[in-house]
Amino acid sequence: MQNTTETFGTEMTSFSKTVDGLISFQKNRVQPKLKITKAEYELFLQEYVFECIKGLNIGQAFCKKYKITDFILIHEKNLHFCSDYIYKTYVKK
């Protein structure tokens, strides 16, 4: 019989590889078509407060508001990373 710890470790490694693959796919895809203005971004940040109360992280709230699928934003929980990523990826320069 296989050791439970070994099985769990193998499953976690497989899961990590899947997540890494999704993130890699997202980073290498064509640049997103959605571009928002800095004013729209600032408004989104103000509106996010209400989405946060509902339990959504900032990435999920952004995807919901603009009806997009961005695997990095959907899965990333770090507020500062997501804010920077949204600004660098989706705000017009």
Contact 47, 65 (CB under 8 A): yes
Half-sphere CA count of 8, side-chain side, radius 13 A: 3
Q: pLDDT tens, 17-48? A: 665 665 566 665 655 689 999 999 999 999 99
Tell me what pLDDT residue 7 has: 47
Query: CA dihedral defined by 50, 71, 90, 80, rounded to 10 degrees?
Result: 60
Question: What are residue 36's DSSP bridge partners?
Answer: 91
Q: pTM for the full model?
A: 0.68
Mean pLDDT of the chain: 81
Q: Which residues is 57 bridged to in the sheet?
A: none
